[in-house]
Structures are given as structure tokens and as C-alpha cells.
Structure 1
Amino acid sequence: MSEWGMGDFQLAQANITIGRWSFDHPRMRGFTNRIDPVNDLAHRAPGFVWRPSAEQAMADLRALGRDPWREAFNMSVWESVEALWEFTFSGVHLEAVKLSARWFDPETAADVMWWVPAGYRPTVGEGLAKLDLVRANGPTADGFTFRRRFPPPDFLE
């Protein structure tokens, strides 16, 4: 259970970074070979709720004029900040995070979290807009980070 309780909200998250090379480049194999194992672990992680399929996310990125072969975009929904933290900073995912500078320019990395009504599935466009929001305004109740967290809306009333 979350420090703020489960309530009627779940935690959406999105992150993005730009590859040093296209994902089909041999130098990106260390990253691309980890995608399926990390996603499989996420799907089995306590507190995981949902993520769009890779095919859907790539199609949406293309439709929004983005390059899914250079931009590593990830979005998912979790029961709580704590559940996402436990997955993010442990095991194979943490190993990939520690190695990420091999494959990605750290200056391009961005992440965001925001509360959504339980059962809601955000779009890739929403995730990109939330990333832009945090870049422009820093963490707010509408888009925040692990370093500066905000409670779900039902705790703000």
C-alpha cells in the first residue's frame, strides 16, 4: 500500500531519452537485448498495472513525428510511487539504468509521474506532454519526479 493509500488513483509514468545510435545499430545491442527481459519483469512486478504494447507506442511516436528508432520512450501505470520505485531501482532494470550512458546521451533523459484515475490508460501523447510540462515548469502536482513527489488528488482536497 502506498504512503498515501490506494484511493481512486494510480500512478502513470513516462520517460524518454535519445539513443547515441539507431536501435538497430550493433552498438545498441546491449540495450535492445535487455528490452524484453526488463518488460517481462515489469509485467510481473508487484504493483504493475499496465503499459502500451511496444508496437502501439512506436506507432504513436511515429504519428506524433517522433523517431521510435532513436527515442527510447516508456510509459506505464503502477499502483503507487513505491511500487514503481522498487521496480526501477532493483535487479535487471537498475543494471540497465547504470549502463544507460553507453547507449544514451544523459542530457536527453527525462522522466515524469502523474496521477490518473484508477483504470485510466494514458496515451503516448499525454506522456510526451507531461514530460514537456516537467521540463518547462519543474515538478508540480500535474507532473512530478521521484525527487519531488505529490500525493494523488483525493489527498489534496
Structure 2
Amino acid sequence: MNRRLAQFDLVKPKFPKEDSRMEEFYASTGYVNGLAEQHPGFIWRETEENQQLLDQLWGEGYLYTLSLWKDVESLKAFLYETPHKTFMQRGREWFDSVSRPRVVLWWVEDGHIPSLREAHSRLTHLYEVGPSYEAFDLHSSELPTVLY
């Protein structure tokens, strides 16, 4: 079985989209998404976000990224070795901090496209159970995985 890495990232902006303090973030999203799409390990990202379902699952005001990558190394290379790193470092300017995990990773079979509901289930699993084969994060992606 060929597998791909699904990635989901949930953030809550500190300010409304129209607020001038969010202008630079929103102005850069096309650039950052383009960087991702041109990265060698990138496979797919959701481009038609379902805000209504997102609001139902997490509450109003959140934004998310749902994507597929060749592997963990490819995702980390994009996050930490491209200009995306600069935007990540500025995240506190734009987003509320959260006490629970906001990023979840999991393996999917080649050809499978993850859904927002699936991402919700995986992130909830990470909250409730902690890192496992079903749901893990960047910090736990190097840990040995036990299959039950």
C-alpha cells in the first residue's frame, strides 16, 4: 500500500478579516499556497473551504488548511525550509494561541482525499488519546508507531 500524509491545521484569527492588522496575513495567502503547490512533496490541498461545516464542527471564526503530502519530511521541508517559515514565526500576531493541539497528521491510502469531517475526527482523537498511528503531530512524527 502506498500511503500519503494528510495534514490539517486549525487557527483562530485574533481579528476580523477586514481589520487592518490581518491585512498582511490575507495578502500573503496566495503566495504561501503557491509555495506549497510548487514544493516537490506537495500532492493536494483543499481549495474550496467549507466554512459552514467548519463553523458547525469547531465554532465560528476558524480558518484551516487541509492538504496531502508525499511524507513527513516533505511537509517539514516546506514548513521550515521555505519562506513559509517566516509567516509561521509571525503567527502570534494574527492568531489566538490554543491550549490543545491545532495540527494533526495521519496516513491515508494513495488516491484518498481527506475530508473536513475526517480531519475533525483525527484532531479529536489526538486531543483525547494523544499521538498514535491514527493521529499524530509534527513533534510525534518521529516516534515509533505501534499497530494494533
TM > 0.5? yes
8 A contact 2:15–2:22 mirrored in 1: yes
8 A contact 2:14–2:96 mirrored in 1: yes
Secondary structure, counterpart of 2:98 in structure 1: helix
Pairwise CA distance, 1:24: 2.5
Give the counterpart letter for 1:10 in structure 2. R
Match of 2:45 in 1: 51
Pairwise CA distance, 1:92: 2.3
Pairwise CA distance, 1:25: 1.8
Match of 1:39 in 2: 33
User: What's the RMSD between the two structures over aligned residues?
Assistant: 2.3
Match of 1:147 in 2: 139
Instruction: Say which of 19, 33, 48 aligns to 1:25.
Output: 19
Instruction: Say which of 104, 117, 123 aligns to 2:109.
Output: 117
Secondary structure, counterpart of 1:106 in structure 2: coil
CA deviation string 1:1-42 (max 9, x = no partner): xxxxxx511000101121111222221112111111110111
Distance 1:80 1:65, change over 3 A: closer
Instruction: Say which of 92, 100, 105 aligns to 2:91.
Output: 100
The whole-number CA distance in structure 1 between the counterparts of 2:6 and 2:58 is 23
Question: Could you state the TM-score of these two structures normalised by the residue count of structure 1?
Answer: 0.82
The whole-number CA distance in structure 1 between the counterparts of 2:53 and 2:108 is 20
- State yes or no: 1:88 paired with 2:118: no
Secondary structure, counterpart of 1:105 in structure 2: coil
Match of 1:4 in 2: none
The whole-number CA distance in structure 2 between the counterparts of 1:65 and 1:98 is 24
Match of 2:3 in 1: 9
Unaligned 5+ segments in structure 1 are 1-6
Unaligned 5+ segments in structure 2 are none
Match of 1:3 in 2: none
